[in-house]
């Protein structure tokens, strides 16, 4: 039996779009320790992380709000609350969201309804377990997805499997230690990186925040 969870409603301004987002009230929301099992998909210690509006997610959504897009097929992986996907859906883009968390799809559906948007296609899967039938994408985006051991390799594998030859990859990265390895792996896949530095909001001082964009030479 799950512990009842408490939520809050946030209002986020992204360019010309104002979005409402239901998020978890705080990091204390989650499952009872008795519910946690060794083979749980998400550990009790990490359960509530998906339901927070992190600075990197807001920064990625802000990046997508003023980006010129020719309606490519887009994948947001490790989406959590999926604010970038909500923004892209509000812009009329062809976006699919994905996350391993068992509650992420329900929260995204609630938030699309809350904003009067059409339902966003969703895939519940780990980075390395995306179904082959989901195909390949023109633009793949993620916010703070390199925080866990093995995640650099897993994200690189996802991109190798699901990026079109001329696809672009955009990551909002708060300076994780695995980023250097990920950039080396992307180089092996033929991608070149462009880095744009600047603190994500809110920022409490000096920051390693950066927006990373990867493309293959034509």
Q: For 170-205, what is each residue's pLDDT tens digit? A: 999 999 999 999 999 999 999 999 999 888 987 655
Asked, for residue 55, whether it belongs to a domain, the answer is yes
For residues 80 and 99, the answer to whether their CB atoms sit within 8 Å is: yes
Asked, for residue 31, whether it belongs to a domain, the answer is no
Asked, for residue 113, whether it belongs to a domain, the answer is yes
Predicted local confidence at residue 205, as pLDDT? 58
Task: At 84, give phi and psi (nearest 5°).
Answer: -60, -40
Q: How many domains does the chain have?
A: 1
The answer to whether residue 215 scores a pLDDT higher than 80 is yes
Which stretch of DSSP H or E encloses residue 211? strand 210-215
Asked, for residue 134, whether it belongs to a domain, the answer is yes
| pLDDT, tens only, 30-87 | 765 435 555 567 878 789 999 999 999 999 999 999 888 887 999 999 999 999 999 9
Nearest alpha carbon to residue 190 among 167, 158, 162 = 167
Whole-model pTM: value is 0.92
Asked, for residue 145, whether it belongs to a domain, the answer is yes
Which stretch of DSSP H or E encloses residue 80? none
Asked, for residue 126, whether it belongs to a domain, the answer is yes
Asked, for residue 130, whether it belongs to a domain, the answer is yes
| pLDDT, tens only, 125-176 | 999 999 989 999 999 999 999 999 999 999 999 999 999 999 999 999 999 9
Domain with 207 in it:
49-215
User: How deeply is 167 buried, as exposed, middle or buried, from its count of CB atoms within 10 A (0-12, 13-18, 19+)?
Assistant: buried
Asked, for residue 26, whether it belongs to a domain, the answer is no
94: domain CATH number? 3.40.50.150
């Amino acid at each position: 039996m799950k512990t009842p969870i408490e939520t809050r409603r946030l209002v986020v301004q992204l360019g010309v779009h104002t979005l409402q987002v239901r998020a978890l009230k705080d990091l204390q929301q989650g499952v009872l320790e008795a519910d946690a099992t060794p083979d749980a998909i998400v550990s009790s210690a990490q359960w509530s992380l998906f339901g927070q509006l992190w600075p990197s997610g807001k920064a990625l959504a802000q990046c997508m709000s003023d980006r010129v897009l020719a309606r490519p097929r887009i994948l947001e992986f490790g989406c959590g609350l999926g604010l970038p996907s909500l923004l892209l859906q509000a812009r009329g883009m062809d976006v699919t969201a994905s996350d391993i968390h068992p509650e992420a799809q329900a929260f995204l559906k609630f938030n699309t309804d809350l904003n009067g948007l059409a339902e966003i296609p969703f895939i519940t899967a780990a980075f390395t377990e995306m179904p082959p039938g989901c195909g390949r994408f023109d633009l793949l985006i993620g916010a703070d997805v390199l925080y866990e051991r093995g995640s650099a390799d897993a994200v690189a594998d996802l991109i190798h499997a699901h990026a079109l030859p001329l696809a672009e990859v955009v990551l909002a990265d708060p300076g994780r230690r695995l980023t250097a390895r990920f950039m080396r792996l992307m180089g092996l896949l033929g991608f070149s990186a462009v880095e744009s530095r600047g603190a994500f909001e809110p920022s409490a001082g000096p920051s390693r925040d950066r927006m990373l964009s990867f493309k293959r030479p034509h």
